[in-house]
Amino acid sequence: MKTLIKSATIIDASSEYHLQTKDILIENGTIIQIDDVINESVSNEINLPNLHVSQGWFDSSVSFGEPGYEERETLENGLLTAAKSGFTSIAVNSNTKPVSDSKSAISFLSSKAIGNAVNLFPIGAMTMKSESVDLAEMYDMHTGGAIAFGDYKVPVSNPNLLKIALLYAQNFGGLIQSFPHEKKIAGKGVVHEEANATRLGLKGIPALAESLQVARDLFILEYTGGKLHIPTISTEASVKAIKEAKAKGLDVTCSVAIHNLFFTDAVLDNFNSNFKVLPPLRTENEVTILREAVLDGTIDFVTSDHMPIDIENKKLEFDLAEYGTLGLETAFGALNKLFGAEKAVTLLINSKERFGIPSNTIQVGSKAELSLFNPGESFVFTSKHIYSSTKNSAFIGSKLQGKAYGIYNNNQLVTF
């Protein structure tokens, strides 16, 4: 079966066709021709306004619901949401019920995505039931397809566990994730601790709760060696500590959630629980520093940190609502507005190497794994743009720049 993509501007710095507008002919999932104009009788022709294509996007932190929380999101609809949002690959977190802390749980997640247009890569829990007491069966999960190990939004309270995990994972090249949050410092806080929290009467989470945990984890990494990823940092001190660790030669990467780049805690005035996220939204100064760290490479990549929450657990008083926001649908539009199309694409693909995900350059002979998008369309994001089963998006009402059309991957075309 042949598919012809017409007049697409290619954004792929590793391709000889970077920033050129070309026709792309695909047969049975492989790119067989790229030229100015291709006249070919095909089964599918893709001809869309201001069409741009890039290597397929990857999100390193996605949560759905299944198994255990199907009322939030099923794997089937979650994968469809990812595809319509432009993602060809996603890493799915371990916060299922039961927690994904065994080879059988990892195999279940992988099996649900067989034959799908989107590649699903499970992240295994680092500790049993994500309770930070006993290490999970990491090697077994590794053989079952887990690409990393971490307890989603659960900090490693026992530093010796992190030490042992980093040492043990070196036997098979495993990547350890440690969520940067010191619970005892954070206490009962729900937003960033500063003047705005006091004005609103909300308990604050000190920036120290994050930076203290980051500093601890980096000291442990320096002692053990191994590979560490620190997900969703949000403070100036974290940026500084990670930059210094990289200068020492430590094998550490970090990410930032897109909403922590896009919003400040000034949006909390109306107590909209969609803005209740962890780590919390920070001040304008912190957001500026995070954006600069993205541009200079201290922050290695971004994530949507997509987290569907059902209305019963989200539409509550701010203190009682659960943490989390949708992010897949708005990832490109937010990043494109902040950084422009080329940088946005780079940020959406450059985490693949860290997680061992293969990349496919846009060239003849390569697998066709493509994200399709229009970077030029400016629009206000509303609930009608949400593909997820839940509607807990912090971006509702925000002006974004650029929309994903969908993907071509695994010999399948999915568009919204």
Q: Which residues are catalytic?
A: 305
- In angstroms, rounded to a whole number, what is the distance separating the alpha carbons of residues 191 and 134? 30
Q: Are 307 and 325 in contact (CB under 8 A)?
A: yes
- In angstroms, rounded to a whole number, what is the distance separating the alpha carbons of residues 370 and 88? 7
* Beta bridge partners of residue 121, listed in sequence order: 91
Q: Are 235 and 207 in contact (CB under 8 A)?
A: yes
Pairing of strands 30-35, 21-27: antiparallel
Closest CA to 35 of 57, 14, 10, 13: 10
Q: Are 217 and 240 in contact (CB under 8 A)?
A: no
- End-to-end, the C-alpha distance of the chain in Å comes to 21
How far is Cα of residue 215 from the mean position of the Cα atoms in its chain?
A: 23
- In angstroms, rounded to a whole number, what is the distance separating the alpha carbons of residues 319 and 325? 15
H or E element that contains 377 = strand 370-380
Give the CA radius of gyration of the chain.
21
